[in-house]
Amino acid sequence: MQNRRTFLKAAVLSASIAAIGGLSSSAWAADTIKVGVLHSLSGTMAISETALKETALMTIEEINAKGGVLGKKLEPVVVDPASDWPKFAEKARQLLSQDKVAVTFGCWTSVSRKSVLPVYKELNGLLFYPVQYEGEELEKNVFYTGAAPNQQAIPAVEYLMSKEGGSAKRFVLLGTDYVYPRTTNKILRAFLKSKGVAEADIIEEYTPFGHSDYQTIIAKIKKFAGEGKKTAVISTINGDSNVPFYKELGNAGLKAKDVPVVAFSVGEEELRGVDAKPLVGHLAAWNYFMSVKNPENDKFIKMYRDWAKKAKLPKADTVVTNDPMEATYVGIHMWAQAVEKAKSTDTDKVIAAMAGQTFKAPSGFTLKMDETNHHLHKPVFIGEIKADGQFNTVWKTKGPVRAQPWSPFIPGNEGKQKL
Amino acid sequence: MKRLLLLISLLLCVGRASAALEPVVLQGLASDDFDGKQAAVAALSAAGDDADAQRLLKALSEDAVAVAGGRLVIVAGEQVLDPASGAPIKPAPASPESISLNNSLRQQVDGALAAARLLSADRAERLTAARALLADMGEGAALLPLFDKALAREQDGEIKPILVQLAAQAALGSPDVARRLQAVRDLAGSGSPAVKALLLPLLDPANEPEEKLRLEAGTAIKAIDARLAWSDTAGQIFTGISLGSILLLAALGLAITYGVMGVINMAHGELLMVGAYSAYTMQALFRAKFPEFVDYYLLAAVPVAFFVAAAVGMLMERTVIRHLYGRPLETLLATWGLSLVLIQAARLLFGAQNVEVANPVWMSGGVQLAENLSLPWNRLIIVAFSGFVLLLVWLMMNKTRLGMFVRAVTQNRPMAGCVGVPTARIDTLAFGIGSGIAGLGGVALSQIANVGPDMGQGYIVDSFMVVVLGGVGQLAGAVWAALGLGVVTKFLEGWAGAVIAKILVLVFIIIFIQKRPQGLFALKGRFVD
C-alpha cells in the first residue's frame, strides 16, 4: 500500500515538474493516463462534493491496484473550483488543455455542469456527471451516471400520492434558486397537473444558495398544510442550506407523519452534520442507499471506510457512502471498461465503447449504460430517515429503470421519447 | 384510516377479539409488502386492549420487532421474546433483522396505541394519548363511542377539554342535529387550522342540510380565523425579531469598530467566524474531556469566543490598522487582506468543509404558544442573548471609565490626549472589545447557521447595512436598524419569497442612504472627524 502511495506521489510530482518545465512528453507522463477530478472542496457545495473527490481517488487506486487501464496506471489530477460556477469552466479548461486529462469525473450542481459544457464541447473532452439532475439535456461529451427525473423525482411523488405514502393531495415545491430545482419543479408541476392536482394545491418556494434562515418558509409550510388536505414537501434544496433547513424543521415540530418532506439532494453524507432524531420518517429518493444489503455494497462500504482511515479524513470512523458516491464509483469503472474495449482513451472511441457497458453496482443491481442516451438504467429506492442518519428503504422498483432525459411532461419533448 | 378507525371502534364496542396473534397476523407483519403489513396492523389494532396485541403494537412503535430464523420476534435488549406469549426464546435466534414500518403504518400503530390508552387508569398515560389523538386525527367519526365513554369517565381538568374537542370533531358527522350543533359550538373555541378544515365543508348546503348549523359553522370559522390571523402575525413578528437579533449580534461589534472608531473593518465577518469556531472547539473539547457536561459547552464558549476574537482583533489593530488611522481606503484594503488571511488560516486549521456545531439539548425544540405558533428555543435564547450583549455594551460604554475614555477619544482625540488619556491604548482596547463582541455574535450564529471558513462573508454586507442604516456612531441606531431590517425582511419574504426579499431590502437601503446619508439617527453635537 505504502509503495503505491509513494508511487502516486512520485507520479504527481514528476508530472507537475514536467508541466512546470514545459516538457511536453516525458517518459513518466507517457506511462500514466491522466484523469481529472473536478469537485468543489470549499464553499457551499463542499458538504456534498468532497466525498465524491475521495471516492474518485479511492476508485482510481482500486483500478491501479489491479494493473490500471491498458497496462497504464491512472493518475488523478484534482482541482478545486470552490463552489464558484465560472471557476468550474476555468478549471475544466485547465484540465483539458493543460493537464490533457483523458476523462473528467466531476460537478454536482447543474449550474456547474452547464458552465463546463461549452468547454467540453469545444475541446472534445469527456465528462462523467455523477449526480441526479433535471434532464432536458443530452450531450455527446457527457455521460450521466446519476438519475434523470423519471428515475428519482417522479417515482418519489407517485409514492407520496399513493395510499402507502400517505395519499398527499397538496405539495410544496421547495428548492434552491437555480436551474435544477426550477426545471425539476416545472416537470413535477406538469406531472401533478396530469394527476389532477389543482394549481391552488401547489406552491413553489426558492431560496438563494447558502440561505440559512428558514423560519418564514417553515411557517408558510405549516400554514399551507393547515388548510386541510394532506400536504407533502418536495425539497430540492442543495448544499449546506440543508443543515439549517432540517434544524429549523426539527425545532418547529413539523413531524414526518403530518407533513413528510422528500428530498432529492439529501443523503447520508448531508445528514452527518445534523441531529437526525427529529427528522425520523422524512424521506429521500435515490438509486442507492448505504443501508442496502448485498455483497457488492458491503465491499464498497468497507473499501471506503478503509480509504477514509488511510487518507485520514476528518471523523474517518463515521464516514458514510451515498448515491452520488456510488454513481462516481460506477462511472469510473465503466469508463475503465470502455477504454479497455476501445483500446484507446480517444474521446470518440471511448464514447462508442461506452454504449451497453454493464457493471455490478453496490445498489445490488447490474447497471447498464444505455445504448443511445448516455444515461444509466438505474433502480429507484425511497427511504425514510432513521435516527442514526441512515435510510430505511420503504419502496423500490423491481429492477433498473431506463432514463428519460427529455421529460414527457414538458411540452415539446414528444418527439424525443425514443432517446 | 377512516375504515380502520371504524374497524377499531366496532370491535371495541361489540366485543373483544381474543386470538389477536394468529399466525396469519404474524406472517403479515413479516411479509415484505405494504398491504400485508397494513392488514396485520389493522387486526392488531382491532384487538383493543388485549395484552398480547398491545405488547406487539408497543414493540412495533419502538421498532423492536424483528424477523429471525423465519419467525417474528420482539427484541428487548439482549433478550429475544416470543410475540405471542412474551416469553423469552431460548436459545435466542441469531441475527434478527428488524422489520420496518413506514410513516403511514407507524401512524396507524400510534393511533391504535393511543386509542387503547384513552381508558387507562394512569392519568399521564391518558393525557399523552388524548394529546396524540388530537394532534393526529382528523375527524375520526368512528371513534365517537370510545370518546363518549372516555368523556363520561374522565374527571381530570386537563384531559377533559381535549376529550371534548376530540368528541366534537368526531361528532361532526353524527346524524343527530343537536349533537352536530353542539359539536360545532365546542369547536368554535379552537385555534387549530385542522379544525377549520373540518368545519369548512359544513358551509356547503350539499354537505349540511340544516341552515342553523351552516350559520353556526360560519361563526365558528370566523372565530378560528381571527385566532389564526393573530398567531400568524405574532409568528411573523417573532421571526422578524429573531432575524433582527441575529443582525444585531453580527453588527454590534462593527457598531463599535466602525461606528464609534471609524475603522472600515472588512475582516469583521471573519471575527464572527473566529467566534463560531471557538464554539466548535469548545464543543470538541467538552466532548473529549467532559462528556457529561457536553450540553453546557456553550456557556464556556461565550467567554472563550469573546477573548479569542478580542485577541485576534487587538493583534490586527496593533500590527496593521493602527498605522492606517485616518486613511479609510487603505484600511479597507488592508482589512480585506486580513479577512483573506483569517479565512485561509481557518481552512488550514479546521479544513475547508463546514464543521458541525450541535444545538445543546436545552436549545432544541420549542414552546407551543398556539396550535400554529411554536417558538424554537434556540431562537428565543438568541434573542435574549442579544439583549444581554446589548446591555453589556451599553453599560461598558456609558458606565465605565474605559467607556468614557473611548467616547472621549473618538469625539476629540487631541483634547483627550491633552488631559492624559492614553489614546493609543484606548484604541487597541476599543477595537478588542468590538472584535470580542463580534466573537459573541459568532457563537450565536454557530447555533443556527453553518460554521465554515467563509461563513463571515455572508454577514459582512448585512453588518455594514445595519450600522450605516442606523447611523454611524450610535448604538441605539444599530438596534433599531437591526430590528427594523429583520421585521421588514421577514414580511417581504412572506410576501414575495426569499430571493426577491433580499433584492428589495438592498434596493431600499440604497435609496434610503441616498436620501439620508447620516442614517436613522445622526450624531449631533461636537463630533470631530
Rounded average pLDDT per 10-residue block, chain A, 419 residues:
55 50 44 94 86 96 94 95 94 95 95 96 96 93 95 94 90 94 94 93 91 88 83 91 86 84 90 78 94 94 95 86 96 96 95 95 95 94 91 92 92 80
C-alpha dihedral sign at A284, A285, A288, A291: positive
Dihedral pair phi/psi, residue A233, rounded to 5°: -110, 130
Residues A373 and A403 sit within 8 Å (Cβ to Cβ): yes
- Which residue, among A40, A41, A42, A169, would best test binding to B if mutated, counting the most B CBs under 10 Å from its CB? A42
Q: Give me the half-sphere count of Cα atoms (radius 13 Å) on the Cβ side of residue B204.
A: 7
Query: Shortest CA distance to B143 belongs to which of B157, B127, B130?
Result: B130
Domain A2-147+293-377 has CATH 1.10.1520.10: no
B3 & B80 share domain: yes
Record: contact B192-A165, CB cut-off 8 A: no
- Which residue, among A174, A213, A272, A396, would best test binding to B if mutated, counting the most B CBs under 10 Å from its CB? A213
What is the C-alpha separation between B166 and B138, in angstroms, rounded?
9
Query: Mean of the pLDDT values across residues B194-218?
Result: 81
Dihedral pair phi/psi, residue A122, rounded to 5°: -65, -45
pLDDT value of position B17: 40
The minimal CB distance from B200 to the residues A43, A212, A228 is found for A228
Residue B510 lies in a domain: no
Q: DSSP string of A325-359?
A: HHHHHHHHHHHHHHHHHHTS--HHHHHHHHTT-EE
B25 & B173 share domain: no
Domain ranges of chain A: 2-147+293-377, 150-291+381-416
CA distance A340 to chain B (A): 36
What is the C-alpha separation between B55 and B43, in angstroms, rounded?
14
What is the C-alpha separation between B159 and B121, in angstroms, rounded?
13
Judging contacts by C-beta atoms under 8 Å, the chain B residues touching residue A209 are: none
What is the C-alpha separation between A374 and B228, in angstroms, rounded?
52
Residue B221 lies in a domain: no
Residues B113 and B61 sit within 8 Å (Cβ to Cβ): yes
Judging contacts by C-beta atoms under 8 Å, the chain A residues touching residue B450 are: 210, 212, 240, 243-244
What is the C-alpha separation between A218 and A260, in angstroms, rounded?
13
User: Residue B67: how many CB atoms within 10 A of its CB?
Assistant: 18
Residue B430 lies in a domain: yes
Q: Give me the half-sphere count of Cα atoms (radius 13 Å) on the Cβ side of residue B132.
A: 20
CA angle (B260, B261, B263) in 5-degree steps: 125
Grid cell in block for residue A155: 417515482
Residues B438 and B309 sit within 8 Å (Cβ to Cβ): yes
What is the C-alpha separation between B378 and B293, in angstroms, rounded?
18
CA distance B210 to chain A (A): 23
Q: For B149-167, how does the pLDDT look when each residue is reduced to its tens digit (9 = 90+)?
A: 888 888 888 888 888 888 8
B264 & B391 share domain: yes
Record: contact A47-B354, CB cut-off 8 A: yes
What is the C-alpha separation between B46 and B66, in angstroms, rounded?
22
Identity of the amino acid at B25: V
- Which residue, among A161, A178, A247, would best test binding to B if mutated, counting the most B CBs under 10 Å from its CB? A247
pLDDT value of position B365: 79
What is the C-alpha separation between B75 and B92, in angstroms, rounded?
10
Record: contact B354-A208, CB cut-off 8 A: no
Grid cell in block for residue B254: 462593527
Q: Read off the pLDDT band of B328 (50, 70, 90).
A: confident
Q: For B235-281, how does the pLDDT look when each residue is reduced to its tens digit (9 = 90+)?
A: 889 999 999 999 999 899 898 888 778 888 999 999 999 999 999 99
What is the C-alpha separation between B444 and A117, in angstroms, rounded?
41
What is the C-alpha separation between A348 and A144, in angstroms, rounded?
16
Q: Read off the pLDDT band of B12 (50, 70, 90).
A: very low
What is the C-alpha separation between B464 and B487, in angstroms, rounded?
18
Shortest CA distance from A281: residue in chain B: B103
Q: Phi/psi zone of residue B249: left (φ > 0), alpha (ψ -120 to 50 degrees), beta? A: alpha
What residues 376-415 of chain B have any CB closer than 8 A to a CB of chain A?
A: 376-379
B100 & B124 share domain: no
User: What total of structural domains would you count in chain B?
Assistant: 3
What is the C-alpha separation between B459 and B454, in angstroms, rounded?
10
E strands, B95-230, are: 97-98
What is the C-alpha separation between A384 and A392, in angstroms, rounded?
5
Residue B474 lies in a domain: no
What residues 282-311 of chain B have any CB closer than 8 A to a CB of chain A?
A: none
What is the C-alpha separation between A401 and A399, in angstroms, rounded?
6
Query: Shortest CA distance to B208 belongs to which of B168, B181, B238?
Result: B181
Residue B518 lies in a domain: no
Radius of gyration of chain A (CA): 21
Peptide bond connecting B91 to the previous residue in cis, omega within 30 degrees of 0 = yes
User: Is pLDDT of B113 > 50?
Assistant: yes
B92 & B137 share domain: no
What is the C-alpha separation between B491 and B127, in angstroms, rounded?
37
Residue B219 lies in a domain: no
Q: For B84-102, how does the pLDDT look when each residue is reduced to its tens digit (9 = 90+)?
A: 777 888 777 777 777 878 8
Record: contact B498-A248, CB cut-off 8 A: no
What is the C-alpha separation between A235 and B190, in angstroms, rounded?
31
B181 & B312 share domain: no
- Which residues 6+ apart lie within 8 Å of A354 measured at CB? A143, A334, A335, A338, A369, A374
Identity of the amino acid at B503: I
Query: Mean of the pLDDT values across residues B353-362?
Result: 83
E strands, B415-465, are: none
Residue whose C-alpha cell is 473528467: A104
Grid cell in block for residue A118: 461549452
Q: Flag whether residue B62 sits within 8 Å of chain A, measured between CB atoms.
A: no
Q: Read off the pLDDT band of B301 (50, 70, 90).
A: very high
ipTM confidence: 0.80
What is the C-alpha separation between B193 and B371, in angstroms, rounded?
8
What is the C-alpha separation between B487 and B484, in angstroms, rounded?
5
The minimal CB distance from B102 to the residues A41, A250, A384 is found for A384
E strands, A107-157, are: 127-129, 142-144
Residues A104 and A37 sit within 8 Å (Cβ to Cβ): yes
Query: Shortest CA distance to A269 belongs to which of A49, A21, A8, A6?
Result: A49
**3-state SS, residue A206:** strand
Q: Which of B75, B101, B116 is the last residue of a domain?
A: B116
B60 & B33 share domain: yes
Range of the domain at B412: 236-364+373-456
- Which residues 6+ apart lie within 8 Å of B243 measured at CB? A213, A215, B485, B486, B487, B489, B490
Query: Shortest CA distance to B359 belongs to which of B345, B336, B379, B343?
Result: B379
B441 & B305 share domain: yes
Q: Flag whether residue B37 sits within 8 Å of chain A, measured between CB atoms.
A: no
What residues 191-210 of chain B have any CB closer than 8 A to a CB of chain A?
A: 192-194, 196-198, 200
Residue B521 lies in a domain: no
Residue whose C-alpha cell is 388524548: B130
Residues B224 and B196 sit within 8 Å (Cβ to Cβ): yes
E strands, A12-159, are: 32-38, 73-79, 103-106, 127-129, 142-144
Q: DSSP string of A71-90?
A: TBEEEEEEE--TT-HHHHHH
CA angle (A93, A94, A100) in 5-degree steps: 95
What is the C-alpha separation between B288 and B420, in angstroms, rounded?
49
Q: DSSP string of B151-174?
A: HHH---TTHHHHHHHHHHHHHTT-
B274 & B147 share domain: no
Residue B524 lies in a domain: no
Judging contacts by C-beta atoms under 8 Å, the chain B residues touching residue A222 are: 372
pLDDT value of position B523: 62
Shortest CA distance from B369: residue in chain A: A252
Q: How far apart are the first and last CA of chain A?
A: 44
Tell me the percentage of chain B whose pLDDT exceeds 70.
93
Q: What pTM was computed for the model?
A: 0.83
pLDDT value of position A18: 45
B67 & B179 share domain: no
Domain A150-291+381-416 has CATH 3.40.50.9100: no
B59 & B157 share domain: no
